[in-house]
């Protein structure tokens, strides 16, 4: 006996049965349809969003990035508190000179919101003091001019690299603005570069509007003109490769112990924690949303079981006839099982179509939804597999009931 042909034939017969009962079949499928559509769409969205987070994480240096943060002094060093100068530009310098396994060193002085003035126009934006490597960490692209250079930092030059917001507000309808001057507080700054407009955003945070208002001046200029002390707010190191991260950490620590005069008021943090956080986030999203979808699939399974039970009691006589002319219990079992599977396969396929539509809509609605795949193949495969499995499982009991019917009783049934 050819089992494969039996199964294919059974499903074909099942589809015919489904077709002859269109409305009822569609109703019984609705749970599966919604379940599959929800499963695929939700997992697709989560993957897209997490993909965004991962991309921005990778963009900012990924696992290679080390953050040097302030730390409470250990008990034994409490009395040395005043001794250390804290994180300064000298740290950045020392690291780039001594830590040869570091590929980039970034430092940032965050001057927050400032008032910018030019051509009689006024606007507000974020001002950051940086060093040349920051362009790598912040992943910015220049549209015109150049970024802050070593010489700018060395000589505390009054130069600025602006974002698209400033150019729109201060210099509307203008060509290149390189060489133009901007006033911030009492200082005048010459524009040396302009960033490309950022359309994208990260995980719902509209990145475009935010980051486009960021503007950069040399860190030394920022400290001299805006600060009382010479501390920086961020200190970042990029390791040359993943394998040397431990070496970079110890080299950075040794270097900073020198500049901080032996005071351990800093800590070198890797991205491991944020990486793990990202994975936890993805997992919990996938499981909770997948769980919701799984529940609707379960409900779909109950719907199929219900309809199959109704179908069995409606066709008791048919089952009797089939048995009388030679069907074995096992034939009847397969017949009804195939019908349940046919319903779920059809429902699953409709659900997949629906999910493609849903995803297309969600891509439009969700900020930065462009990274959501319109056809997430793996979730779709899973969705289809699960729905078929649900049909299979929910078909077993009704099929067993059909198979167990006694032909004589079934034939007598009116």
Partner 1 sequence: MSSAVFQLSDIRRSYYVGNEWVHAINGLDLTIPDGQFLAVIGSSGSGKSTLMHILGFMDTPTEGKMEFEGSDVTGIGRRSRAHLRANRIGFVFQSFNLLPRLSVMDNVLLPLFYGRSGMSRADRRAAGMAALERVDLQHRWQHTPNQLSGGERQRVAIARALINSPRLILADEPTGNLDSRNREKIMDLFVKLVGEGITLVVVTHDDAVAAYAHRRIRMQDGRIVEDDAA
List interacting residues with partner 1 (CB under 8 A).
Answer: 1, 16-17, 20, 317-318, 320-329, 331, 407-408, 411
CB of 329 to partner 1, least distance (A): 7
At 21 the three-state DSSP class reads coil
Residue 355: which of 386, 385, 378, 376 has the closest Cα?
376
Q: How far apart are CA 74 and CA 67, in angstroms?
A: 19
Residue 177 or 346 having the CB closest to partner 1: 346
CB of 32 to partner 1, least distance (A): 23
Start-to-end C-alpha separation, the chain: 34
CB of 15 to partner 1, least distance (A): 13
CB of 394 to partner 1, least distance (A): 23
Residue 6 or 197 having the CB closest to partner 1: 6
Residue 99 or 346 having the CB closest to partner 1: 346
Residue 172: which of 208, 120, 115 has the closest Cα?
120
- DSSP secondary structure letter of residue 188: E
Cβ(374)–Cβ(359) below 8 Å: yes
Crossing angle of helices 89-98 and 245-259, rounded to 10°? 130
Residue 276 or 324 having the CB closest to partner 1: 324
| Burial of 7 per CB tally in 10 Å (0-12, 13-18, 19+) | middle
CB of 407 to partner 1, least distance (A): 5
Q: How far apart are CA 60 and CA 54, in angstroms?
A: 10
Residue 233 or 318 having the CB closest to partner 1: 318
CB of 412 to partner 1, least distance (A): 9
CB of 340 to partner 1, least distance (A): 17
Residue 242 or 325 having the CB closest to partner 1: 325
Residue 258 or 324 having the CB closest to partner 1: 324
Q: How far is CA 347 from the centre of its chain?
A: 29
Residue 92: which of 57, 129, 62 has the closest Cα?
129
Per-residue burial over 383-413, b if 16 or more Cβ lie within 10 Å, else e, is bbebbbebbbebbbebbebbbebebeebeee
149-to-17, 141, 240 alpha-carbon distances in Å? 75, 15, 21
For the four alpha carbons of 153, 159, 161 and 166, in that order, the dihedral sign comes to positive
CB of 27 to partner 1, least distance (A): 19
Residue 198 or 332 having the CB closest to partner 1: 332
């Amino acid at each position: 006996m050819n089992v494969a042909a039996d199964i294919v034939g059974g499903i074909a017969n099942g589809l015919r049965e489904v077709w002859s009962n269109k409305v009822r079949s569609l109703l019984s499928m609705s749970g599966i349809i919604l379940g599959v559509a929800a499963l695929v769409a939700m997992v697709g969205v989560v993957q897209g969003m997490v993909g965004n987070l991962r991309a921005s994480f990778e963009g900012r240096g990924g696992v290679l990035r080390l953050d040097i943060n302030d730390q409470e002094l250990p008990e034994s060093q409490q009395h040395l508190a005043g001794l250390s100068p804290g994180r300064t530009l000298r740290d950045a310098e020392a690291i780039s000179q001594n830590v040869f396994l570091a590929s980039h060193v970034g430092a940032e002085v965050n001057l927050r919101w400032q008032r910018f003035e030019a051509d009689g126009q006024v606007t507000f934006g974020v001002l950051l003091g940086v060093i040349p490597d920051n362009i790598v960490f912040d992943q910015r692209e220049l549209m015109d001019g150049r970024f802050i250079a070593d010489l700018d930092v060395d000589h505390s030059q009054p130069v600025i690299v602006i974002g698209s917001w400033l150019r729109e507000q201060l210099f509307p309808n203008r060509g290149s603005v390189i060489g133009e001057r901007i006033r911030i507080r009492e200082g005048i700054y010459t524009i040396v570069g302009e960033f490309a407009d950022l359309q994208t955003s990260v995980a719902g945070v509209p990145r475009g509007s935010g980051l486009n208002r960021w503007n950069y001046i040399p860190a030394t200029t920022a400290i001299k003109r805006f600060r009382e002390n010479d501390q920086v707010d961020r200190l970042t190191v990029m390791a040359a490769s993943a394998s040397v991260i431990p070496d970079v950490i110890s080299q950075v620590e040794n270097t900073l112990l020198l500049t901080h005069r032996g005071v351990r008021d800093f800590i070198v943090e890797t991205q491991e924690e944020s990486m793990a956080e990202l994975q936890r986030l993805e997992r919990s999203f996938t499981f909770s949303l997948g769980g919701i979808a799984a529940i609707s699939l379960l409900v779909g399974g109950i719907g199929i079981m219900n309809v199959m039970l109704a179908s069995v009691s409606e066709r008791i006589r048919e089952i009797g006839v089939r048995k009388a002319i030679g069907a074995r219990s096992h034939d009847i079992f397969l017949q009804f099982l195939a019908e349940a599977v046919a319903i779920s396969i059809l429902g699953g396929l409709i659900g997949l179509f629906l999910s493609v539509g849903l995803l297309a809509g969600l891509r439009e609605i969700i900020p930065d939804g462009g990274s959501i795949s319109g056809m997430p193949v793996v979730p779709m495969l899973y969705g289809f597999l699960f729905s078929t499995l649900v049909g299979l499982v929910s078909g077993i009991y009704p099929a067993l009931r059909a198979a167990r019917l006694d032909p004589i009783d079934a034939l007598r049934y009116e």
